[in-house]
Each structure stands twice: as C-alpha cells, then as structure tokens.
Amino acid sequence: MTGLSAGAPALADPPGDPSSLAFYERSVQEVARELIGCTLRHGGSAGLIVETESYHEGEAACHAHIGLTERTRTLVGPPGRAYVYRSYGIHALLNMVCEKDGVGAAVLVRALEPTEGLEAMRRRRGLDKLRELCSGPGKLTQALGVGLELNDSSLSGGPIVIEPRDPAAPVPEIVTGGRIGITKAAELPWRYCRRGSAFVSRPLPPAERRAGARED
C-alpha cells in the first residue's frame, strides 16, 4: 500500500540532508540557500541558521582565488568538511566546503537564531542578550565553542552537526544582498538572509529587502 504515489509533488522544496556529504557537492550558491533554516549544533548548544554567504574561487573575495596554499588546503579539498580560519587575528569563522574536490568554494555561516544550550552560549560569550549571542560569524563560533582545531573536520559524523529543516515548518523565505565586510567582488548578491529574522548580523538595505533578489 503505497499511498505515497510516484508523481505526487513533494511537500515543498525537499531540503536534502545536510548531514550527508553529498549535500555539499553542488553549486555553492544552492547550498548557501538551503542551509537557511537548518540547525547547527556543537558543544551542547544549537541554533537555526538565518544568514549565510557563498564564496567561490572564481571571484576575488574568496581565499582560494589565489590558488592552493596551506591556508586554502581545506577550502580546495573535498566537500562536506568544515573550513575554519582565523579572521583579523582574533576570531574563528566557520564555513562548509562545497563543490567537487579541487574546486575552492564554501558557505560562510554568518548568524544563528539560538535554540538550545543557551546558558552555555551565554557563558562562552560573556553576554546575556539573546540577539547578541550568534548575530555575527565570529560571535556564533564563540557561542558554540567552535575553534580552529575543527578545521578540516567532517560535517557528517563529526563534532559539528548540521540537521535538516523541520519538514513540518514553513519553508523560510530568503532575501539576498551584497556580502558584508569585503572590498573585492562586493557587487555579487551572495549574502542570503532569512526574511524577517531578528538574528541576522546586520539588517539588509531597504532596496535589497524589497527585491528579494534572485540574481545569482
């Protein structure tokens, strides 16, 4: 008795499984969109991903644009691993490596809506306010206890866990805009935010908020 007939349209936009390596072996822009609404978990804490950015070796803002170096070894390597690097000499920034082995491409996680392990996050951040716990790429790694030692760790069965969206929950609406904090290739609309989220790192410019743009 298979009531679930072939041909019937899936509920809506089947999310795929972000805890499987195959999820990451595709276009980095696609992965960046689909990670919105997924759960990121580490160190006894977790949150919903509400903001991402995509980076690809074909454009100058990507670390791998210059080719393979010791720093970009993970980024250029096989998909489904964490690329964690030190930013401004101070912060650890977390990326998911995408596309096939040998192509430098990754999704930067920029903000989470905290959902579990809030006290541990507050302790690691030294802050109380919920909205400030994970509203930035350096903040969320500190809140989850993600450090440089997790660079090159697997996103499937590793210490960092990524879970699919709740299939019963509404599919998040996504708004795109220019990436934050870069000078090169700043015109590309490769920042992806959950529409209406109060937990993004910075509000979107009004024009981009309205557009819901789709120029990727």
The verdict on 83 binding DNA (CB under 7 A) reads: yes
Annotate each residue in 101-120 with x if it binds DNA (CB under 7 A) or - if it does not, as one string. -----x-x------------
Closer of 47 and 137 to DNA (Cβ)? 137
Tokens 């195959």: give the residue: 22
Q: Which segment (3-11, 56-64, 154-162, 203-211) binds DNA by CB under 7 A?
A: 56-64
Tokens 């090169």: give the residue: 184
Shortest distance, CB of residue 141 to DNA, whole angstroms? 8
Which residue in the set 19, 27, 77, 91 belongs to the binding site for DNA (CB under 7 A)? 91
Give the residues lining the site for DNA (CB under 7 A): 53, 55, 61-64, 66, 69-72, 75, 83, 86-91, 93, 95, 106, 108, 125, 127, 132, 136-139, 179-184, 201
